[in-house]
Amino acid sequence: MSSKYDVVIKNGFVVYPDKTVLADVGINGDSIAKLGPADSLSGTKVINAEGCYVLPGLIDPHTHPVYLDNLQDLSKTAAWGGVTTVIHYAYAKPGQSLLQIIKQWKEEAGKTSYIDFALHGGLFETIKQADELPDAFKEGVTSFKMFLSYAKLGWMTDDYALTKAMDIIGREGGMAALHAENGLAIDYIQDKLLAEKADITERFLETSPALAEAEAIFRSVYLGRLMKCPVYIPHISSREAMEVIEYLKSRKFPVIAETCPQYLSRTWDILKEFGPLGKVGPAIKTQDDQDALWDSVENKLIDTIGSDHAPKPKKIDDNFFDAPYGTPEIETMLANVWHSGVNSGKITPNDIARITSENSARIMGLFPKKGRLDEGSDADIVVFDPAKQWTISHTNQHTNASYSIFEGREILGKVDTVLSRGKVIIENDTFSGQAGDGKFHATKSGEWFKNNYKF
Ligand SMILES: [Zn+2]
């Protein structure tokens, strides 16, 4: 008799970016001990995955645990969605110390998170906070978000401060992440519409134009090249932006492209139904933009999918202009992308493994512990049932938000079982995670670029 594993996931289709294998997964402790032929391994606990896909736990590179869901709540709703590692944006608002925020979040999430986590820094007052960047690296944080948008709010990083930050980040071996929309141009357009007393719900798209997104991507990636600093562009929303990304990648500029489920599964006309609930930044755009994003996933111009989970307190009859940007997304991310992408034949389960897990692990320097179901890797695993039919509603989600912009959407395919470092945390619609089980992971976001790009 061969050895017995702590847990065996039996007879599932184990998915990699490059192959799908009908196999048993044997787990001992935290990690994957053995991949064997179907029905070959025995375990103390056996999970029957027949007819299901066995995916690497999702790594969500884009989360905001500061609104209706805090660090603990977000990690729970994430787990329900098949996410086993979250990379939060630790935002240092103007006047705050980036280093203090990073230390506080590490401590709080270390005590309360159900799943593993890492942090990006977020700079709202870049010219001052950039001086803290070298210390942030010592804390295991190597990627840093700045805003080229939101000038009126006082959050915009201008080109002078951006160049300074990129100089330091490049030298330390990290990565800059930019909210890429031209903030001053957008402020002018907003002011003009407000002066005209225009219907902002109707004309919301004009306040988040694809051209302003494309321009900011182009500018920031060029400045990154100048300062030898890799650039990550979160939440890409338009065809115009993807054309710039295609050009930059053809020139071998170090840039990573992320989009989100809301841009892949919704178009801007949801605002008619959902009003301010559907307000996100950048705006969800047209069907043509959505088609371009799917093409980009298919042809590998999109590297990662992030949720941009940011459930804000708002109601459908709130004033549209004053309503905050953001939606709950993390729990429905995998199901939405699967349903819109795999069920329609646009992409394969292998693409899902690539864009929701392995690429993020590689780019953030968490590979090979995370991102792939190999022997020796952390046993972060999702068993996904492609035949399960269900309907998205805010009432069957675990976020504290009381709405979903996918309300009523019928989905084929559902997260069935989730393991976080070998421990079953979701099974039979029951959550059994422990607060504080999640571990902090230091990132090494620059290393992948060093191996893949010439600066
Ligand atoms: Zn975001």
Please give the pLDDT value at position 202. 87
pTM metric for this prediction: 0.97
Residue 53 has phi, psi (to 5 degrees) of: -95, 140
**Does residue 109 form part of some domain?**
yes
What's the confidence (pLDDT) of residue 206? 95
DSSP one-letter code for 81: T
Reported as a pLDDT band with limits 50, 70 and 90, residue 2 is low
> Which amino acid is located at 9 in the chain?
I
How many angstroms separate the alpha carbon of residue 161 from the centre of ligand 1? 21
- Above pLDDT 70, what percent of the chain? 100
Q: How far is the CA of 326 from the centre of ligand 1 (A)?
A: 8
The answer to whether residues 41 and 26 touch, using CB atoms and an 8 Å cutoff, is: yes
β-pair type (53-56, 381-391): antiparallel
| Domain span including residue 245 | 57-367
- pLDDT grade, residue 360 (50/70/90)? very high
| Cα 25 to averaged position of ligand 1 atoms, centre (Å) | 35
Q: Is 80 exceeded by the pLDDT of residue 62?
A: yes
* Distance from Cα 14 to the centre of ligand 1, integer Å: 31
- The CA 62 to ligand 1 mean position distance, Å, reads 6
What's the confidence (pLDDT) of residue 257?
98
Q: Is the dihedral of CA 265, 270, 271, 274 positive or negative?
A: negative
Residue at 333 is within a domain: yes
CA of residue 52 to ligand 1 center, whole Å: 31
Q: How far apart are CA 256 and CA 177, in angstroms?
A: 9
Q: CA 374 to CA 358: how far, in whole Å? A: 11
Helix (H, G, I), strand (E, B) or coil at 244: helix
Which residues make beta-bridge pairs with 43?
A: 5
CA of 305 to the centre of ligand 1 (A): 12
Residue 22 Cα, ligand 1 centroid: separation in angstroms?
Answer: 37
Q: What is the pLDDT of residues 389-444, one digit of tens each?
A: 999 999 999 999 999 999 999 999 999 999 999 999 999 999 999 999 999 999 99
Note whether residue 2 is domain-resident. Answer: no
Distance from residue 87's CA to the centre of ligand 1 (Å): 11
Query: How many A from CA of 337 to the centre of ligand 1?
Result: 18
Distance CA 372, CA 201 (A): 42
Q: Please give the distance, rounded to the nearest whole angstrom, from the Cα atom of residue 19 to the centre of ligand 1.
A: 32
The amino acid at residue 257 is A
pLDDT of residue 272: 86
Tens-place pLDDT, residues 167-223: 999 999 999 999 999 999 999 999 999 999 999 888 999 999 999 999 999 999 999
Closest by CA to 455, choosing from 221, 291, 120, 245, is 221
Task: Compute, in angstroms, the gap from residue 63 CA to the centroid of ligand 1.
Answer: 6
19 located within any domain = no
DSSP label at 57? P
> Tell me: the pLDDT tens digits for 91-143?
999 999 999 999 999 999 999 999 999 999 999 999 999 999 999 999 999 99
Decide: residue 428, CB within 10 A, 0-12 exposed, 13-18 middle, 19+ buried.
exposed
Residue 359 within any structural domain of the chain: yes
Segment 140-153 mean pLDDT: 97
Residue 217's Cβ-side half-sphere holds a number of Cα atoms within 13 Å equal to: 31
pLDDT digits (tens, 9 = 90+) for 236-270: 999 999 999 999 999 999 999 999 999 999 999 98
Strand partners, 312: none
Determine the Cα angle at 439 with ends 83 and 394, to 5°.
30
What share of the chain has pLDDT > 90, as a percent? 96
* Interval between CA 31 and ligand 1 midpoint (Å): 31
Q: How far is the CA of 145 from the centre of ligand 1 (A)?
A: 9
What is the Å distance from ligand 1's center to 179 Cα?
Answer: 8
Distance from residue 383's CA to the centre of ligand 1 (Å): 27
Residue 363 lies in a domain: yes
The residues near 424 (Cβ < 8 Å, ≥ 6 apart) are 7, 45, 47, 417, 418, 432
User: Once rounded to an integer, what is the mean pLDDT over residues 280-294?
Assistant: 97
Mean local confidence (pLDDT), 293-313:
97
Mean pLDDT of the chain: 97
Dist. CA 171 → ligand 1 center (Å): 25
Q: Is residue 284 part of a domain?
A: yes
Q: How far apart are CA 455 and CA 199, in angstroms?
A: 47
DSSP 8-state assignment for residue 276: G
- Whichever domain contains 347, its CATH number is 3.20.20.140
In terms of Cα–Cα distance, which of 52, 24, 49 is closest to 349? Answer: 52
What is the whole-number distance in angstroms between the Cα of residue 424 and the centre of ligand 1? 29
CA of 420 to the centre of ligand 1 (A): 24
Residue 453 pLDDT: 86
- Please say if the pLDDT value at position 55 is more than 90: yes
- Identify whether 83 is part of a domain: yes
E-state strands within 124-187: 143-147, 175-179
- Could you give the CA distance from residue 409 to residue 393 in angstroms, rounded to a whole number? 8
What does the DSSP 8-state code read for residue 357?
I
- Beta pairing partners, 426: 418, 431
Cα dihedral across residues 336, 338, 341, 344: positive or negative: negative
Does position 56 have pLDDT exceeding 70, yes or no?
A: yes
Query: Residue 119 C-alpha to ligand 1 middle, in angstroms?
Result: 13
448 Cα to the center of ligand 1, angstroms: 23
Where does residue 410 rank: exposed (0-12), middle (13-18), buried (19+ CB within 10 A)? exposed
In whole angstroms, what is the distance from residue 354 CA to residue 16 CA? 7
The CA-based angle 119-30-88, given to 5 degrees, is 15
d(CA 378, ligand 1 centre) in Å:
27
Residue 165 — very low, low, confident or very high, per pLDDT cuts 50/70/90?
Answer: very high
Q: Give yes or no for residue 277 having a pLDDT over 80.
A: yes
Q: What pLDDT digit, counting tens, does each position of 215-234 carry?
A: 999 999 999 999 999 999 99
Domains in the chain, number: 1
Summary count for the chain: helices (H), strands (E): 15, 17
